[in-house]
Chains A and B, each alone.
Chain A
């Protein structure tokens, strides 16, 4: 259990275009989903927290108008990088927290496989 998927696994786009990344919890309902960004040889940096049916909460320094998050259901959250630029090239990873599902540990975040974004 506790499988989280992400799509696409990698994407290359031109500067100025928008890219949508999907994050799905496959075998549990995720009360909360998180979006991280990771640059090479650095640790994960939390970008925003996404709760189903409510607005995302962004970490300090993260532009909410540039990184649009929609948490449409308990199993799906999307991150849209709008007007992407080369400095947005990074590894984007989502994670999902189960809350109190019986078959997996509470308070634990399970990560998706990540999406590598390259902006030319």
Chain B
């Protein structure tokens, strides 16, 4: 089975940094994905980690530790447009299916 946990909500100030943690327990593993989803819209792909370590893409970075079943998404220099739900998803081995966490709603305040 799949068990993916992430905080429900986080609030931060414009220009600040926020770290969204995700822990997972899955029967198979084929990478850890982060998606951003604005209200009423479909998710957009942010990052993909399959090996341990940090992947940096501009203001967003994602970290993975497979031995700990742990990942985080780091959002730097927060902007108002970053207010959204951030979904942690684990890829299952071989069949390309994703199991999603419930999502973390990030609210950026001025």
The interface of chain A, by Cβ under 8 A from chain B, is 2, 6, 32, 34, 42-44, 46, 49, 91, 93, 97, 105, 107-114, 116
Which of chain B's residues have a CB closer than 8 A to the CB of A2? 45
Q: A107, B41: Cβ atoms under 8 Å?
A: no
Known: A43-B102, A112-B42, A114-B41. A34 touches B97 (CB 8 A): yes
Q: How far is the CA of A98 from the CA of B80 in the complex (A)?
A: 32
Q: How far is the CB of A63 from chain B (nearest CB, A)?
A: 19
Interface mask (B92-110 → A, CB under 8 Å = 1, otherwise 0):
0001111111110000000
Which of chain B's residues have a CB closer than 8 A to the CB of A46? 97-99
Residue count of chain B within 8 Å CB distance of chain A: 23
The interface of chain B, by Cβ under 8 A from chain A, is 30-31, 33, 35, 40-45, 48, 50, 87, 91, 95-103
Q: Which of A44, A49, A108, A113 is the one whose CB lies under 8 Å from B87?
A: A44
Q: How far is the CA of A46 from the CA of B87 in the complex (A)?
A: 14
Q: A109, B101: Cβ atoms under 8 Å?
A: no
Which of chain B's residues have a CB closer than 8 A to the CB of A107? 30-31, 48, 50, 91, 96
